[in-house]
Amino acid sequence: MADRQPPSGMTLQLQVGDVDRARGFYGDLFGAPPGFEPHEDFLEWRVGGRGETWVQVVGVPGAVRPMLNRVRFRVTDLAAARAAVLATGTEASAIAVLPGVVRWFDFADPWGNQLGHYEDLAPSGEQPGPGGSVHDESQFVVG
């Protein structure tokens, strides 16, 4: 097997039906205008500062195929992030907690792309392991 170079970045592409509306929605979500706009129907935001992780928002003609796998973005103040999402008129779930590990809430963009925010409760690598299954909701609490 040939030597394989590990990835050094990532893009995630989301389809939308209205680029101007998406510019506002995602501008609010990321707190800034797009960092890159190579085409009139393509907007791109860098996630996480200086890294090479990009969210690409692409306007499509016809039916939008929303991303159904959820993508959550880390924030340092989950309550403020939820209040900001709600202020845009977007519905959001209650905050759920995996005690000692993470808190999160979920929402969707106007085209059905599944999004969310999370806040670490312990530094990466220092979280306690609750055991069980990620599908066992008895591990989570609301709050």
Could you tell me which residues are beta bridge partners of residue 108? 114
* pLDDT tens per residue across span 35-72: 999 999 999 999 988 889 999 999 999 999 999 999 99
- Predicted confidence (pLDDT) at residue 133 exceeds the cutoff of 60: no
Nearest Cα to Cα of residue 43 among 66, 31, 29, 27: 27
Are β-strands 114-120 and 53-59 bridged in parallel, bridged antiparallel, or unpaired? unpaired
Torsion of CA 111, 44, 79, 51, to 10 degrees: 140
- The H-or-E segment that residue 19 falls in is helix 19-30
Instruction: Specify the pTM.
Output: 0.84
